[in-house]
Amino acid sequence: MYFEAIGAANHDLDDIELMTDRAVLEDLSDVFRGQGSMLVCHFCDDVSEIIAGILVDKESEKAWVLCGPCLRQVPLQGTLASQ
Ligand SMILES: [Zn+2]
């Protein structure tokens, strides 16, 4: 469902990278705050949820930010968690 939503359903999963580095996420949040905006989950648009990860499509160079609850529903999470 989520991969269809981001248009990545037909992509090789090797091209999708999940980034959950807290330091990177905090830096990114600071950048957004500095611009007077907020980092909001692309899937649920819930501003009260803290961003927990970023999905990066290396092929198309697109990225989507995800909150914790949405991140847990991404099928990649299980395979990447062990890395
Ligand atoms: Zn969400």
- Residue 61 phi/psi, 5-degree rounding, is 60, 35
Full-prediction pTM beyond 0.85?
no
How would residue 14 be classed by pLDDT, with cut points 50, 70 and 90? confident
Mean pLDDT in residue range 12-37 = 87
Residue 77 has pLDDT above 60, yes or no: no
Q: Which residues pair with 40 in a beta bridge?
A: none
Q: Give residue 73 CA to ligand 1 midpoint distance, Å.
A: 10
- Residue 76 phi/psi, 5-degree rounding, is -70, -25
Number of structural domains the chain divides into = 1
Which pLDDT value is given to residue 10?
A: 54
Residue 56 has pLDDT above 50, yes or no: yes
Residue 41 has pLDDT above 90, yes or no: yes
Q: Which helix (H) or strand (E) holds 77?
A: helix 76-80
Q: Give residue 43 CA to ligand 1 midpoint distance, Å.
A: 5
Q: Give residue 41 CA to ligand 1 midpoint distance, Å.
A: 5
Q: If 0-12 CB within 10 Å is exposed, 13-18 middle and 19+ buried, where does residue 66 land? A: buried
Which pLDDT value is given to residue 83?
A: 43
What residues make up the domain containing 54? Answer: 2-80
